[in-house]
């Protein structure tokens, strides 16, 4: 277990260990630290949801595990281990073998991830043949089984369809079939339901959760939707300005949140709002990652901030059960409605 971030105490080794991860994007004009000292564990068969506003570093963290950032202008430091693979020490050839086999990814928009000039069946079969060195006949059979597994209707016909011939929900299921084709131990999902309507979103989440349990995979699921996190997560990490500011079980974080930012996210929804009243959104905007304030990054937007918050970045406060919060107010009793600015 990593000692930088609390995790479940168990004799079982974590499937994923990320410790002190930093990701810098370097250009002629500036260096942007998009991920700043992030640490977390994922146990085998566990689902970790990373939530936060756009630009908080969620997708950057996910893509770092696959080493998908352009090497020429990206500097990654820290430690990332998935299974027996030390991600940052692998050569590009070794990493190519890991992608799709040990680690797979479901992207937010499958139309940009799926190749428009090949059929769905060809794309699934190609992945199977690439990693399992099997015949085309075996790969085609496996492609059909995968479409059946992700509940695609008329799978025999869909094998011959091109991505543009499928609806958004079916394209996302096809993308899941590609990602699961080689039975990965870790599945990364980057807001895979954002572009879907509510009914299709629920269907995709049910399929994904069932497949996760059937395969015994670890899953890291990026979303800005707290409702999605509540449905699928075992643990939740809340990110702000490239840092994890709250971390714990889904019950601890979503039912007993302690960080003012988490409370603000929960208040910034239509759920529980009275008709005709404005949503109590978090004031202001996320900070410029090129010039973070010296203290807590959330202090300029926080209704509870004082001089101490603006001077230093808070150390983690860890409660029973591993519920971690980076907030100077975390030792006190923060009433959820007060911290969200509703009281």
pLDDT tens digits for range 82-124: 999 999 999 999 999 999 889 999 988 778 889 999 999 999 9
For residues 137-142, average pLDDT = 93
| Tens-place pLDDT, residues 64-78 | 999 999 999 999 999
Weakest mean pLDDT among 44-48, 201-205, 267-271, 299-303 = 267-271
The predicted structure's pLDDT at residue 2: 40
Count of structural domains within the chain: 1
Domain around 55: 16-102+184-339
In a domain, 21, yes or no: yes
In a domain, 81, yes or no: yes
In a domain, 168, yes or no: no
In a domain, 41, yes or no: yes
Domain of 44: which CATH number?
Answer: 3.40.50.300
332's tokens = 């006190």
Give 137-146 contacts, CB < 8 A, sequence gap 24+. 142/181, 143/177, 143/181, 146/177, 146/180, 146/181
- Are the C-beta atoms of residues 143 and 159 closer than 8 Å to each other? yes
In a domain, 165, yes or no: no
Burial-class residue 124 by CB neighbours within 10 Å (0-12, 13-18, 19+): buried
Summary mean pLDDT of the chain: 87
- Rank 179-183, 208-212, 257-261, 320-324 by mean pLDDT and report only the highest: 257-261
In a domain, 95, yes or no: yes
- Higher pLDDT, residue 208 or 48: 48
Per-residue pLDDT band for 1 (boundaries 50, 70, 90) equals very low
Question: Residue 8 pLDDT more than 80?
Answer: no
The conformational region for residue 321 under phi > 0 = left, psi -120 to 50 = alpha, else beta, is: left
For residues 279-306, average pLDDT = 88
In a domain, 276, yes or no: yes
The predicted structure's pLDDT at residue 104: 93
Weakest mean pLDDT among 3-7, 41-45, 118-122 = 3-7
First to last CA, the chain: 39
């Amino acid at each position: 277990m990593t000692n930088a971030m609390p995790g479940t105490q168990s004799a079982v080794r974590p499937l994923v260990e990320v410790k002190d991860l930093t990701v810098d994007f370097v250009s002629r004009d500036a260096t942007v630290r998009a991920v700043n000292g992030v640490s977390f564990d994922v146990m085998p068969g566990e689902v970790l949801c990373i939530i936060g506003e756009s630009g908080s570093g969620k997708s950057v963290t996910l893509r770092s595990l696959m080493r998908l950032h352009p090497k020429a202008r990206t500097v990654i430091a820290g430690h990332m281990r998935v299974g027996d693979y030390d991600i940052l020490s692998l050569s590009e050839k070794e990493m190519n073998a890991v992608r799709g086999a040990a680690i797979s990814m479901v992207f937010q928009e499958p139309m940009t991830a799926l190749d428009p000039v090949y059929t769905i069946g060809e794309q699934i079969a190609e992945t199977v043949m690439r990693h399992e060195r099997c015949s085309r006949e075996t790969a085609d059979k496996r492609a059909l089984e995968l479409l059946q597994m992700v509940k695609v209707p008329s799978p025999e016909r869909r094998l011959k369809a091109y991505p543009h011939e499928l609806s958004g929900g079916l394209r996302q299921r096809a993308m899941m079939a590609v990602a699961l084709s080689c039975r990965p131990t870790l599945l990364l999902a980057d807001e895979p339901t954002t572009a879907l309507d509510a009914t299709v979103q629920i269907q995709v989440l049910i399929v994904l959760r069932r497949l996760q349990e059937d395969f015994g995979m670890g899953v890291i699921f990026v979303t800005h939707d707290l409702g999605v996190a509540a449905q699928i997560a075992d643990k939740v990490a809340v990110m702000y300005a490239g840092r994890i500011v709250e971390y714990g079980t889904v019950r601890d974080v979503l039912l007993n949140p302690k960080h003012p930012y988490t409370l603000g996210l929960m208040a910034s929804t239509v759920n529980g709002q009275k008709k005709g009243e404005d949503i109590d959104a978090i004031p202001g905007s996320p900070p410029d990652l090129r010039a973070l304030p010296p203290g807590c990054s959330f202090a300029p937007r926080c209704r509870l901030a004082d001089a101490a918050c603006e001077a230093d970045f808070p150390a983690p406060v860890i409660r029973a059960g591993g519920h971690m919060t980076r907030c100077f107010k975390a030792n006190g009793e923060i009433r959820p409605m007060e911290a969200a600015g509703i009281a």
